[in-house]
Amino acid sequence: MTEKAIEKKKKNKYHKAKHFRRSTGDIIFDVINYTFYIAFTLTCIFPFYYLFINTISDNELVRKGQINFLPVGLNINNYLSLLQAKEVGQAFLVSAGRTLLGTALMVMASAFVGYLVTKQQMWHRKLWYRFLIITMYFNAGLIPWYLNMSMLGLTNTFWAYIIPGIVAPYNIILVKTYIESIPSELEESALIDGASTLVIFWKLIWPLSKPILATIAIFGAVGHWNSFQDSLILMQGAPSLYTLQHRLYLYLNQASNLAAMMNSGTSALSEVLQSSMLNTKVIKYTISMVSIIPILMVYPFMQKYFEKGIMMGAVKG
Amino acid sequence: MGEKEASKERIAGKLYYFSRVSALLSVVLMLFPGINPARICGYINKNMSLFTSGIAYSELVSECQRAFTKGWLQESSFRLLFASCLIICIGIVLTGICACMSLGNVKMKKAGNIFGITGGALELIGLIGIVISYCQVAATSKPEKVLPCFQGAGYGIFLVLALTGLTVAIVNQLLLRKITVEEKMEMDSKYKLFLMFLPFLAAAFVFSYLPLWGWRYAFFDYTSGSTLSMDKFVGFKWFTILFQNEATRQDIVRVLRNTLAMSGLGIATSWVAMAFAIFLSEIKCGPVRRFVQTFTTIPNFISWVLVYALALAIFSSDGFISSIMMQMGVWETGENLLMNPEHTWLKMLFWGMWKGVGWSAIIYIAGISGIDQQLYEAATVDGAGRFQKIWHVTVPGLIPTYMVLLLMSVAGILSNGMEQYLVFKNPINANAITVLDLYVYELGIGSGAIPLSTVVGMVKSLVSVALLFMANGISKLIRGESII
């Protein structure tokens, strides 16, 4: 490298640096900005972390409130003993079952209906499509919905979780919009080859619309897993069908009732409750973790579908 | 000859309207408990529809066990009743198939008629079975306990529907011309597509439109478990009670204040998500930005119950803050911060934001990346600084999205959902936290005041729809685009 070239490079570097040199104001702004975002992110992470270290630490230390930042006495006994608790295992199976079955049926129905409503030649297509979409914008209210479900004999049955969710207008709009963006030549050529509607759907549309189907599947699954209101209202007579969220809610309430009693109660009572507190605290933390872990496990896969998912609100019928 | 055939086919086509309507009515009506012809004695639940009676024997006899053991009723007559209901249900399904197939060509119509005839016949057999089991039940030794009754109206309706279906199918089978073996079953693709769509439309009808039928409870004096009859019709009594009864009125005012305050706070701070996105995009270090985005979005995907679980872990008397404070010697005993009656609205806003802001920001982040980079370059050339670029380029680029979301949230001002408030509710903050949705739940499911809670829910639904249309109208006016 010649002297001149080095000189030139130095000069360039200098120019570049000058171009990007930041004012003091900029630096202060950046410091505040970074600090704020990192602090906020930590408040989002910390509760999860705190819960987690308390479930894997020594229960005696947890009871004394000494596990705050780092786990001590690592063990997974809480999880193992929780698996043996019948109520929790049952609730976990109900939640997992409704998530798998409910999501699978919803995705298939949305894909099929989304495809059907793109067919211009359907008898009164527009009317029926509106009939379906309008249901997004009104609802009769909680009590009529509940009475309707009990009239249909769905209360206290597992199917109450599955069947009402199969037809999801939002997702149908999403699929429809997506299918409309697939070049129509593909379908036309399949038609010329003599393929029927069902064959075209299964062999062509289904594979081509996988990205959007993955999106609705993931959001549908999270919705099913988190669902709590339907269990609360429809399963009043069937505790064996409570979802995990519902179980957790009941445990949390028990624990906070205990806490309230302790604050107001006599010392003798407090003593007794203090020892049972150990169990409730650890149990509620562990069940919370069991409910969170599946979400955290699918979360990395979800991220690439975020944008499509949030656009849900922005698409139109 | 050809003309005669054609006119016959036209008549058949007209007749099919009757069978289609009767099939549709049968399918819908078999879901209504009020006209269940199978309710032949007081032991059968009043909320059982014909459909439920036909598919769930255990529910049919759920209240009869004592009568069976005492010998007031024979189990065989209930087996007969169940079988009859099942047969009727199958018959109705077959009539439905006939109605669907009547949309095809002649060959398909004729095949469909076979279903129609079979279905109609099955329905009649089932209806006869119900009469027989009624006669057996009526012969009970304890009529004052068993209360045999015959649902004349419901029975008549199903009888007429069955006869209509059966007659039309037979007549049309005779009317339509003979078909040759080579002919193929065909249907116009517009009907085929419609029939494929039909099951989903039916599901939407059953789960979204049928609940509207429940609005009638608003006009009756109804307590859970009883039946609706015209002598319990009370007109607008519950509507007036809502405003005249002092206690209820106070409740409503309080609940509305909570609802509007919390929704209002949500709307007033809805720009925060936009600000969050804008300043996040000012972080030029890619990994940090991704880290922030990844972890601030997680809370959106956990349920409110779990948010509450996390809140307890941090703020309750044996949670993180209490144990830190106790170890530092500031507090002597743990304090449950969630049991604090102050600033409930703001706290709820805080939890809503903690859960949602990262997620709501995503749409704005997508919006920012969609803004033309040349605008920024031009602004730089013009000497704009960082904040000027934000204010004059980024914000105007995001305002359209913001407006849509704002209008949507104004339309949803009454619907803030009940889960968040249900889980965070405790005796201490109950007054400030009960929103409309939660109030309806507590009134209807908790206290069993079904008519009153239906009235509240009904008014809420109507106002919400009106608000939605208003928001849509405003959007059309200022943006020239509708939001629904």
Which chain A residue lies closest to B450 (C-alpha atoms)? A143
Query: A86-116 and A210-226 helices cross at what angle (nearest 10)?
Result: 150
Q: Do residues B157 and B52 make contact, with C-beta atoms less than 8 angstroms apart? A: no
User: Does B166 share its domain with B310?
Assistant: no
Residue of A nearest to B453 (CA): A143
For chain A, what is the largest distance between any 2 Cα atoms, rounded to a whole number of angstroms?
A: 91
Give the residue numbers spanning the domain of B272.
238-479
Q: How far apart are CA B103 and CA B190, in angstroms?
A: 10
**CB contact set of B380 (below 8 Å; sequence gap of 6+):** B389
Residue with tokens 């995001």: B398
* Residue whose C-alpha is closest to residue A79's, from A65, A92, A95: A92
Q: Does residue B148 contact residue B215 with C-beta atoms inside 8 Å?
A: no
The pLDDT value recorded for residue B302 is 92
pLDDT score for A6: 58
**Pick among B58, B270, B301, B483 to test the A interface (most A CBs inside 10 A):** B301
| Alpha carbon distance B7, A221 (integer Å) | 55
Whether residue B51 is predicted with pLDDT greater than 60 in this model: the reply is yes
- Asked if B249 and B175 sit in the same domain, the reply is no
Tokens of B339: 């049991």
Query: Is the Cβ–Cβ distance between B212 and B228 less than 8 Å?
Result: no
Do B23 and B100 share a domain, yes or no? Answer: yes
At B425-460, the pLDDT tens digits run: 988 888 889 999 999 999 988 888 888 899 999 999
Helix locations, B298-343, DSSP H: 304-315, 320-327
Q: Is residue B38 within 8 Å of residue B61, measured between CB atoms?
A: no
Owner of token pair 């379906």: A132
In-domain check, residue B455: yes
CATH code (residue B455): 1.10.3720.10
Residues B162 and B248 in one domain: no
**Whether residue B289 has pLDDT greater than 80:** yes
Q: Give B-chain residues touching A302 at CB under 8 angstroms.
A: 301
ipTM of the complex model: 0.87
Task: Provide the pLDDT for residue B34.
Answer: 78
- Position A265 scores a pLDDT of 45
Taking one residue from A and the other from B, the number of pairs with CB-CB distance under 8 angstroms is 285
Between B390 and B480, name the one with better pLDDT. Answer: B390
Phi, psi of B400 (to 5 degrees): -55, -45
The residue of chain A nearest to residue B284, with distances taken between CA atoms, is A30
Cross-strand pairs, B187 = B104
pLDDT (average), residues B31-60: 83
Greater confidence, B279 or B416?
Answer: B279
Q: What is the pLDDT of residue A313?
A: 46
Q: What is the pLDDT along chain A (317 residues), one digit of tens a residue?
A: 455 555 555 555 544 444 556 788 888 999 999 999 999 999 999 999 999 998 888 777 777 777 788 888 788 777 877 777 777 888 999 999 999 999 999 999 999 999 999 999 899 999 999 999 999 888 888 999 998 898 888 888 899 999 999 999 989 998 998 898 888 888 888 888 888 889 999 999 999 998 889 889 988 999 999 999 999 999 998 889 999 999 889 888 875 554 454 444 444 444 444 444 445 778 788 889 989 999 988 888 877 777 665 555 444 43
Q: Is residue B192 part of a domain?
A: no
Inter-chain contact B298–A299, Cβ cutoff 8 Å?
yes
- pLDDT confidence of residue B305: 93
Residue B24, pLDDT > 60, answer yes
- Quick one: B266 and B175 in the same domain? no
Q: Which of B296, B309, B450 lies closest to A41 in CB terms?
A: B296
**Partner-chain contact B366 A54, CB within 8 Å:** no
Determine the residue of chain A that is closest to B214 in CA distance. Answer: A144
Q: Is the CB of B56 less than 8 angstroms away from the CB of A123?
A: no
Under 8 Å between Cβ of A271 and A40: no
How do the domains of chain A map onto residue ranges? 3-75, 83-247+285-314
pLDDT at B239: 85
Q: Using a CB-CB distance cutoff of 8 angstroms, which residues of chain B are in contact with residue A47? A: 310-311, 313-314
Using only C-alpha atoms, chain A has a radius of gyration, in whole angstroms, of 28
CA distances from A22 to A13, B377, B386, B393 (A): 15, 17, 11, 21
Nearest to A206 by CA among A184, A178, A166, A167: A178
**Structural tokens at position B201:** 């439309």
The mean pLDDT value for B282-304 works out to 90
Q: Is the Cβ–Cβ distance between A231 and A241 less than 8 Å? A: yes
Q: Is the pLDDT of residue B197 over 90?
A: yes
* Cross-chain Cβ contact B484/A306 below 8 Å: no
Calculate the average pLDDT of chain B: 88
State residue B203's pLDDT score.
Answer: 94
* Residue B245 shares a structural domain with residue B182: no
C-alpha pair distances (Å), B341 with each of A30, B247, B304, B395:
38, 22, 20, 38
Q: What is the pLDDT of residues B244-288, one digit of tens each?
A: 888 888 888 999 999 999 999 999 999 999 999 999 998 888 899
Looking at the structure, give the CATH architecture of the domain made up of residues A83-247+285-314: Orthogonal Bundle (1.10)
* B201:A132 CB<8 A: yes
Could you count the other beta carbons within 10 Å of the beta carbon of residue B146?
20
Taking only the tens place, the pLDDT of each residue in B100-131 is 999 988 889 989 999 999 999 999 999 999 99
- What type of residue is B434? T
pLDDT band at B149 (very low <50, low <70, confident <90, very high): confident
What is the predicted pLDDT for the residue at B227? 64
* Angle at B355 (CA atoms; ends B353, B356), nearest 5 degrees: 65
Report in angstroms the alpha-carbon separations of B72 from B96, B120, B262.
38, 33, 58
pLDDT of residue A18: 46
pLDDT of residue A21: 60
Q: How far B320 CA sits from the closest chain A CA (Å)? A: 6
Q: Tell me if residue B462 falls in helix, strand or coil.
A: helix
C-alpha Rg value of chain B to the nearest Å: 32
pLDDT band for B317, please (50, 70, 90 cuts): confident
The total of structural domains in chain B comes to 2
Q: How much is the average pLDDT of B297-320?
A: 90
pLDDT of B95 > 50? The answer is yes
Smallest CA–CA distance, residue A16 to chain B, in Å, is 16
